[in-house]
A and B are shown apart, each in its own frame.
Chain A
Amino acid sequence: MNVTIVDYNSGNISSVINSFKEVAKDKVNIEVTSDLDKIKSSDKVVLPGQGSFKSCVDALNNIDGLSDTLNEFVINNKKPLLGICVGLQMFADVGYEETETKGLGWISGKVSKIDNQNGKYKLPHIGWNEINIVKDSKIFKDIENNSHMYFVHSYEFVPKDKNVISATTDYSSNIVCSVEKENIFGTQFHPEKSDKFGLKIIDNFINL
């Protein structure tokens, strides 16, 4: 099996690579590339993303044909994709970080700044927080409710259809931190930095 981590200059992806390689061992081939043919022929795709919504969308659009290839992979071929952090946020129709920016539109909704109650809560939301699992998601197999995951973000994905939400976390408000819609998976937290439970989520995705 081939799992491709999309390398599209979206910031630091070494930790994502290290964690997938750790979990995959020799059983699964982990590719790190933006090569469209390699993405097309993979079994699964990981879409990481760091920095701002706009910088990630721009980076994606900077690679000719990448967004079309991902669309085909996810929407037409219904193959599994995991978005991490801004990778998840880009599923939305639109994001409001820096300026209004169009997203991939795979899961209807918007990405807006976390309401920190006029400075009562620090932003970014950095650190370990518990996830409330609200829906059976394939990537949460053997993950206990209220497990801690590592977060670092100031913006949140607000999907229109609440049925896609698989987990939330409590900060200044209840924040969507994981979604599942058919073959599309996403985590706002960083499984690659969430110790053994995070690695288990990666393992679950690889073994879908």
Chain B
Amino acid sequence: MLKNRIIPCLDVKNGRVVKGINFVDLQDAGDPVEQAKIYSDGGADEICFLDITASNENRDTIYDVVEKTSKKCFVPLTVGGGVRSVDDINKLLNCGADKVSINTAAVQNPEVVIVSSKKFGSQCIVVAIDAKKSGDKWEIFTHGGRNNTGIDAIEFAKKMEDSGAGELLVTSMDRDGTQVGYDIDLMSKISSMVNIPVIASGGVGNLDHLVDGIKLGNASAVLAASIFHYGKHSVKEAKEYLDSKGIPVRI
């Protein structure tokens, strides 16, 4: 039986791990390579690096981080943040990323998703959707949550599936950093709309939130940062908890 995945996410800035509250107020907290190794040794099903300020700054440091991590961690490694072109994707894959997540570029130029999924295979193309509730729908934000595009998130999710995305990483901008739980409505709506796996992200504050993301949000995988990063829970504890709630996990 296929297991639900737990994916710790490390937000990286200038080669160092940070985790923001609503994408601002960053706190430095460690070396990404070491952190990733701790997670993979602890049973993380995948590791995710998000180069959070990459849209605006020199991002060459991430290549070095990815290269070092991929020589130490033998679970899938997803890297996102500031990925603009097919060439960026190629570089990250060559450094050892297994999947690349595309956010702003997928909105501005969906051709990147179409071309890259044909060139490298859908299995390595993750489209990251940052969505914020607006009335009775959700709208897509880009540039690390700074720009509102007004694009409907559910329709966009479907479009990305059709464009060749292998997975969708759905982040609720309202919840990110708040620790009050995933936006379950958003997750379940997108998950029911597409036939590719959905990774839930944004808002995890406790282990029940992970359970809800899978049971109520119908996510195939749950991504979280701060609950793992600041030592509140280990990945192992999270898996044991999910297992106790009847969710299939790899233990």
A residues apposed to B, CB below 8 Å: 11-12, 14-15, 18-19, 21-22, 50-52, 55, 116, 119, 122-130, 148, 150-154, 170-171, 192-196, 198-199
A116 to B97, CA, bound (A): 28
Band of interface residues on B: 20 to 34
Q: Which residues of A contact B166 (CB under 8 A)?
A: 124, 126, 152
Residue of B nearest to A147 (CB): B250
The distance from the CB of A98 to the nearest CB of chain B, in whole angstroms, is: 9
- A150-B121 in contact given A126-B197, A193-B98 (Cβ < 8 Å): no
A196 to B121, CA, bound (A): 26
A21 to B74, CA, bound (A): 12
The distance from the CB of A193 to the nearest CB of chain B, in whole angstroms, is: 5
- Given contact pairs A14-B95, A171-B2, A195-B40, enumerate 4 new A-B contacts (beta carbons under 8 Å): A18-B71, A22-B74, A50-B124, A127-B3
The distance from the CB of B214 to the nearest CB of chain A, in whole angstroms, is: 12
The interface bits of chain B over 104-136 (1 if a CB of A lies within 8 angstroms of the residue's CB, else 0) are 000000000000001111111000000000000
Q: B15 near A: Cβ within 8 Å?
A: no
Q: Is the CB of A14 within 8 A of B3?
A: no
A-B contact pairs, 20 of them (CB 8 A): A14-B93, A14-B95, A15-B74, A15-B77, A18-B96, A22-B71, A50-B124, A51-B119, A116-B195, A119-B195, A127-B2, A127-B4, A127-B220, A127-B221, A128-B3, A128-B45, A129-B2, A148-B3, A153-B123, A171-B2
Q: Which residues of A contact B197 (CB under 8 A)?
A: 122, 124, 126-127
Q: Is the CB of A130 within 8 A of B40?
A: no
The distance from the CB of A45 to the nearest CB of chain B, in whole angstroms, is: 21
Residue of B nearest to A21 (CB): B71
The 4 lowest CB-CB distance pairs between A and B, nearest first, are A51-B121, A12-B93, A152-B123, A128-B250
A194 to B40, CA, bound (A): 11
- A126-B123 in contact given A14-B93, A171-B2, A195-B40 (Cβ < 8 Å): yes
Which chain B residues (114-169) contact chain A, with CB distance < 8 Å?
118-124, 166-167
B residues apposed to A, CB below 8 Å: 1-5, 40, 45, 70-71, 74-77, 93-98, 118-124, 166-167, 195-197, 220-221, 250
The distance from the CB of A58 to the nearest CB of chain B, in whole angstroms, is: 12
Residue of B nearest to A19 (CB): B74
Within 8 Å by CB of B123, from A50, A122, A148, lies: A50
Q: Which of A11, A19, A153 has the most B CB atoms < 10 Å from its CB? A: A11
Q: Is the CB of B220 within 8 A of A199?
A: no
Q: Which residues of A contact B70 (CB under 8 A)?
A: 14-15, 18
The distance from the CB of A32 to the nearest CB of chain B, in whole angstroms, is: 12
Q: Is the CB of B98 within 8 A of A123?
A: no
Q: Which residues of B contact A123 (CB under 8 A)?
A: 195-196
- A192-B74 in contact given A124-B197, A127-B220 (Cβ < 8 Å): yes
Q: Is the CB of B74 within 8 A of A126?
A: no
